[in-house]
Chains A and B, each alone.
Chain A
Amino acid sequence: MHPFILMALSLPSWQDEWPFLVTGLALGGVYALSGVGMIVLYRTTGVLNLSFGAVGAFGALIAWQLINHSGVNQWLAYLVCILFSGVLTLAYGMVFGRALAGRDPLVKTTATLGLTLVLLGVMDLLWTSSGGASRAITLPTDNHGFMIGQVQVSTTDVIGLAVGVALTIVTTAFLRYSKLGTAMRAMANDREITATLGVPVRRVEAAAWFGCGIVSGVAGILLADLVALDATTLTFLVISSLAAALIARLSSIVITFVAAIVIGVVDALITPIQSLSNYRDMTPFVLAAVALLVINRHRVISISQEGI
């Protein structure tokens, strides 16, 4: 056998994999959080918010600035980050979301790339990444933790998975039982008919935008701690959540959660396998492409209403 194949087959032992499994679950939880936030907004307004990562990164950088240069209490700074993300997303939704409400989802989604570029530009101006300036957000929960067997698990890891699980359960229940949630589901089916039935469509949309923004702020802080506090990295980490949402055909919250966990875990478990380690960030793309191929084997062509 070719030595390369042997090398690829020489899998690390399970003992080596445990720490990576923990990281994977934590990251998967945050991806699930982001994916669910994006899907709820998409179902309600038809906008797939590609600026999700950029907004979270902006919030996290503001929190970093407050903590390190203004001496603000860090919990207060995180609260500011989350609120800022919520308000910024809401403001975008009120101005551009409303103006583009009648257009094709593809147009609405492309428009969020405009916001992404603006935010990337502003972040680069305010917190330049050249000159080797490195920033970090360290949650106090990083130092707390416990051992499972021989594996160190930090409280941040637990939080990452927990918020993902919690948001999935809460959102599912919210959509099913609350009045606002029912309105959101109705709007996912037909905006015009829902409006005719007396639902305050714009207020429901505003709630969805604000909720999505809040979630992006939470994800921004957690990812800044778990991965890195870097504008570009955080902006494009959204791709992993996007893949999960895509596997769920942009509709099922539960499938999004499962897919996000799988993406996070597979990505992390590949890390110690030498021959594949460098390619592990392809995981979201490969999984989403395979899922699309399998799901759509027997589907007929779907037709969008309007181009750009």
Chain B
Amino acid sequence: MSAAGVETADTTTQPPSSPGGFDTRTLVRPAVIAALLLFVVLALPSILSTYYVDAMIQVAIWSIVALGLGLLVGRVGLVSLGQAAVLALGAWVAARILFATSLPYPLVLLAAGLITMVLGTLVGLPALRLSGLYLALITLMLAGAITVVLATTNFPNGGHGFLGYNGSAVHIPQIRRPSIANTDTAFLRYSVIVAALMFLLVLAHVRTRPGRAWAAIRQSESAALAAGINTTLYKLWAFALASFVTGVAGGLLAGSSRYLYSYDFTTQESITLLAVVLMGGIFSLWGAIIAGLLLQLLPQLLNSWGVSPDWLTILFGIGVLQVLLTAPAGLVDQVPKDLARLGRLLRGLARRVAPAGGRSP
């Protein structure tokens, strides 16, 4: 219930409150978020079983990916259908650096983010001057193309040369993790902290000049252009930021799974990702966390109940249609509203039933 309360409080679409006025909400919200974060970092890893620790690591990682895509779709109005491929790029770069050097892990994450940022931006370049539909299509094709390349080059596994792939290795070394986070529980803490940093980075952008420019572009590109906003620059900026956080997520993914395989990054994965991001809610940063939970925790839950993951694919498909038709703000917006409506309904029922119950016996 407390989580639902937080979601109601956080409607990031509203303008930030003035720094001077200390009304209770401005203090309560960061406090609740900090408490939640402390709970997830300190308590949660020790409570969960190994099975769910693994799942939660993936939730943290995919929340970052969803954050990047949500930024593109929700803030700027750009739809990318190839984010899983961008994640694969980030994971590849990180794995290559991890095998080639003994750099500290945070530096590797930074490098993976920056290199992915450059590659992702280059790819978006041809479509950025076109309407959104073209960008969606070109990224869909890009996802297909990257999948093809990865199937041939494979992920680095300690081999030599630029590609670092050793096909005949009998003993394949693991991708290393940060020395302070070698166990699964420690790696979960590490991932959550990195994810929190990425959320802060995006929040810092959304709340300042680029955020306002993106909002203007989203409302009307021609009006933004007329107001003197360099729309191409800011679209590119959004693309770069989304690619950066996705690259960092790729770096975490390399460490979390220890072995990477090209068939884990399919075109279908990119489409499913867009589906959960839309379902989670694209106008609030909380939507990204819900998307991560939908994408990584729900399959594990269903799996432990013996339900086929195919049902989830169907659910996500229906979810996309439902979001586009009736609830553009996603679960983040809808669930609190529905809960409130349910509450009113129950209270109304209770009021109607109580006198009736008093009279009838």
Q: Which residues from chain A sit less than 8 Å from chain B, CB to CB?
A: 48, 50, 96, 99-100, 103-107, 109-111, 113-122, 124-125, 232, 235-236, 239, 242-243, 246, 250, 278-279, 281-282, 284-286, 288-289, 292-293, 296, 299, 301-304, 307-308
Q: Is the CB of B137 within 8 A of A296?
A: no
- Whether the pair B130, A302 counts as a contact (CB closer than 8 A) is yes
Q: Which residue of A lies closest to B328 (CB)?
A: A308
Please tell me if the beta carbons of A308 and B126 are within 8 angstroms of each other in the complex.
no
Given A279-B148, A304-B133, A304-B221: A114 touches B314 (CB 8 Å cut-off): no
Q: Give the residues in chain A near B110, CB-CB below 8 Å.
A: none
Main secondary structure of the interface of B (DSSP, over half): helix
Give 12 CB contacts A-B under 8 Å: A104-B132, A109-B133, A113-B274, A118-B313, A118-B318, A121-B316, A124-B310, A242-B140, A246-B134, A289-B141, A293-B126, A296-B129
Binary A-proximity of B225-267 (CB < 8 A = 1, otherwise 0): 1000001100000000000000000000000000000000011
Report whether B275 and A117 are in contact in the complex, using a CB–CB cutoff of 8 Å.
yes
| Prevailing SS type, chain A contact patch | helix
Q: Which residues of B contact A122 (CB under 8 A)?
A: 310, 314
Within 8 A of A (CB), among B131-166: 131-134, 136-138, 140-142, 144-145, 148-149, 151-152
Is B210 located at the chain interface by the 8 A CB criterion?
no
Which chain B residues lie closer than 8 Å to A246 at the CB level?
A: 134, 137-138, 141
A100 vs B151: C-alpha distance when bound (angstroms): 38
Residues B314 and A106 in contact, CB atoms below 8 Å apart: no
Max chain A Cβ within 10 angstroms of own Cβ: one of B77, B132, B325:
B132
**Which of B129, B132, B148, B308 meets A299, CB within 8 Å?**
B129
**Closest residue on chain B to residue A302 by CB atoms:** B131
B232 touches A111 (CB 8 A): no
B290 within 8 A of A: no
Question: Which residues from chain B contact A117 at a C-beta distance below 8 Å?
Answer: 271-272, 275, 313-314, 316-317, 320
Q: Does B268 contact A (CB under 8 A)?
A: yes
Tell me whether A288 and B138 are in contact in the complex, defined as CB-CB below 8 angstroms, given that A279-B149, A282-B148 are known contacts.
yes
Given contacts A292-B126, A307-B218, contact A105 B149 (CB under 8 A): no
* Smallest beta-carbon distance B228→chain A, Å: 14
- Say yes or no: B221 contacts A301, CB within 8 Å: yes
- State whether B130 touches A278 (Cβ < 8 A): no
Q: Does B52 contact A (CB under 8 A)?
A: no
Instruction: Given A117-B275, A120-B268, A246-B138, decide whether A304 and B131 contact each other with a Cβ distance below 8 A.
Output: yes
- Contact call B225/A301, Cβ cutoff below 8 A: yes
Among B145, B268, B315, the residue within 8 A (CB) of A232 is B268
Query: Shortest distance in angstroms between A101's beta carbon and chain B's nearest beta carbon?
Result: 12
Q: Name B325's closest neighbour in chain A (CB-CB).
A: A99
Given the contacts A117-B320, A118-B318, A236-B144, A106 and B310 also touching, CB distance less than 8 Å: no
CB pair A239–B126 under 8 Å, yes or no, is: no
Q: Which residues of B contact A116 (CB under 8 A)?
A: 271, 317
Write out the residue numbers on chain B whose beta carbons fall within 8 Å of the beta carbon of A235: 268
- CB B186 to nearest CB in A, in angstroms, measures 34
Shortest distance from the beta carbon of B345 to any chain A beta carbon, whole Å: 26
Task: A282 to B315: give the CA distance in the assembly, Å.
Answer: 31
Is the CB–CB distance between A121 and B310 below 8 Å?
yes
Q: Does the CB pair B130–A279 fall under 8 Å? A: no
Task: Indicate if the CB atoms of B308 and A125 lie closer than 8 Å.
Answer: yes
B residues 100-146 in Cβ contact with A at 8 Å: 126-127, 129-134, 136-138, 140-142, 144-145
Give the residues in chain A near B77, CB-CB below 8 Å: 304, 307-308
CB contacts (< 8 Å) of A118 on chain B: these are 313-314, 317-318
- From residue B167, how far is it (CB to closest CB) to chain A in Å? 13
Q: How far is the CA of A19 from the CA of B145 in the complex (A)?
A: 25
Query: B324–A289 contact, CB under 8 A?
Result: no
Closest chain A residue to B231 by CB distance?
A301
What is the bound-complex CA distance between A116 and B266, given in angstroms?
Answer: 15
B79 located at the interface, meaning its Cβ lies under 8 Å from any Cβ of chain A in the complex: yes
Asked if B49 lies at the interface with its beta carbon under 8 angstroms from chain A, I say no
Asked whether B312 is an interface residue with its Cβ less than 8 Å from the other chain, the reply is yes
Contacts A120-B268, A285-B144, A292-B127 supplied; 6 other A-B pairs, CB < 8 Å: A117-B314, A121-B313, A121-B317, A282-B149, A296-B126, A296-B129
